[in-house]
């Protein structure tokens, strides 16, 4: 029922220029696909059964990675526009979230990045990709690029700081990131939020946004159903509990800066003002786009601006 609801919502929203979302009864790797259609599939990688959305177009594939309080559904306004441009686009539910399996361990961002790398390979999409990540997905995107430098043509990180990279300590001590500390406490956030997923997520989306109208009742219902699945809250909070290990890993990664082009995108009322200088500590070539009238949820609050930023940064297929 939950999966059908999401597919129904995607079918209604992800229709652009004749392209539509369509459920796949078998993994996309073994299914004949029609170019431009956003397909739904599952594959097991590294012992975890991953759910993903995939549209096969041309050129270097774009991998879209969501964060917490989201699933691959967050790309519902962005993915179709990239597909309409002719790109191959992959948007998985990251480990533990959405319709992806929820193992007890493995939420360090470097481990999740290896999941995504294996998924790309198993789908026959690589080795070279463009990687775009928002929130926790941006942390995973950096870990992917740092571990597979020759396979990431371009990297875009949307509205998130990287653990262990200054001013990380200052950020984590600020009132703005109170939830980092709360979610990191073992068992307590699960106990307090379970059964109240919709109420909490609605409040959280609103508190982190400028354009709160992006989160309609329908959108909140989709997210609430995803996070009410057994194990989903725990899995999401394990990402935050892994921050100390992520910080140590990122400090090691940062000893050798990334050389591919990197784009930092941030809401003007969120991490937009600092994301450029932050990313320059880990990459040699950084561009910055600050999204006006946006909080944290840039791809949902101001999708047209995000699509514009990405399509200026990522070459058109065949170029």
Catalytic residue annotation = 135, 240, 296
Residues 6+ apart with CB under 8 A from 194: 233
Q: Cβ(177)–Cβ(170) under 8 Å?
A: no
How far is the CA of 200 from the CAs of 7, 194, 205, 248, in angstroms? 24, 9, 9, 31
Can you read off the two tokens belonging to residue 165? 């990279």
Calpha distance 253→22 (Å, rounded) = 39
Residues in a beta bridge with 54: 39, 90
Calpha distance 274→237 (Å, rounded) = 25
Calpha distance 156→303 (Å, rounded) = 15
159: left (phi over 0), alpha (psi -120 to 50) or beta: left
3-state SS string for 68-108 = CCCCHHHHCCCHHHHHHCCEEEEEECCCCCCCCCCCCCCCC
């Amino acid at each position: 029922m939950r999966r059908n609801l999401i597919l129904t919502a995607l079918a209604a929203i992800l229709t652009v220029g004749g392209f539509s979302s369509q459920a796949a009864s078998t993994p996309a790797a073994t299914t004949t696909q029609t170019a431009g259609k956003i397909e739904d599939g599952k594959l097991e990688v590294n012992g975890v059964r991953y759910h993903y959305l995939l549209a096969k177009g041309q050129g270097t594939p774009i991998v879209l990675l969501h964060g917490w309080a989201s699933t691959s559904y967050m790309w519902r306004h962005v993915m179709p526009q990239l597909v309409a441009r002719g790109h191959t686009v992959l948007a998985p539910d990251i480990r533990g979230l959405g319709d992806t399996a929820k193992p007890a361990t493995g939420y360090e961002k470097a481990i999740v990045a290896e999941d995504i790398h294996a998924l790309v390979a198993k789908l026959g999409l690589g080795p070279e990709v463009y990687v775009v990540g928002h929130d926790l997905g941006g942390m995973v995107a950096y870990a992917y690029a740092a571990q597979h430098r020759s396979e990431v043509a371009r990297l875009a990180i949307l509205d998130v700081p990287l653990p262990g990279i200054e001013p990380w300590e200052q950020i984590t001590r600020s009132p703005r990131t109170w939830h980092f500390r709360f979610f990191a406490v073992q068992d307590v956030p699960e106990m307090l939020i379970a059964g109240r997923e919709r109420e909490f997520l609605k409040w959280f989306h609103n508190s982190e946004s400028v354009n709160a109208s992006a989160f309609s009742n329908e959108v909140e219902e989709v997210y609430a159903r995803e996070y009410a699945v057994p194990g989903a809250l725990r899995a999401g909070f394990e990402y935050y509990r892994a921050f100390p290990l992520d910080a140590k890993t990122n400090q090691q990664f940062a000893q050798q800066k990334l050389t591919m082009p990197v784009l930092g995108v941030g809401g003007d009322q969120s991490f937009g003002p600092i994301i450029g200088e932050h990313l320059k500590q880990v990459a040699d070539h950084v561009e910055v786009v600050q999204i006006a009238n946006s909080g944290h949820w840039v791809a949902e609050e101001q999708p047209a601006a995000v699509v514009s930023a990405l399509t200026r940064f990522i070459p058109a297929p065949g170029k």
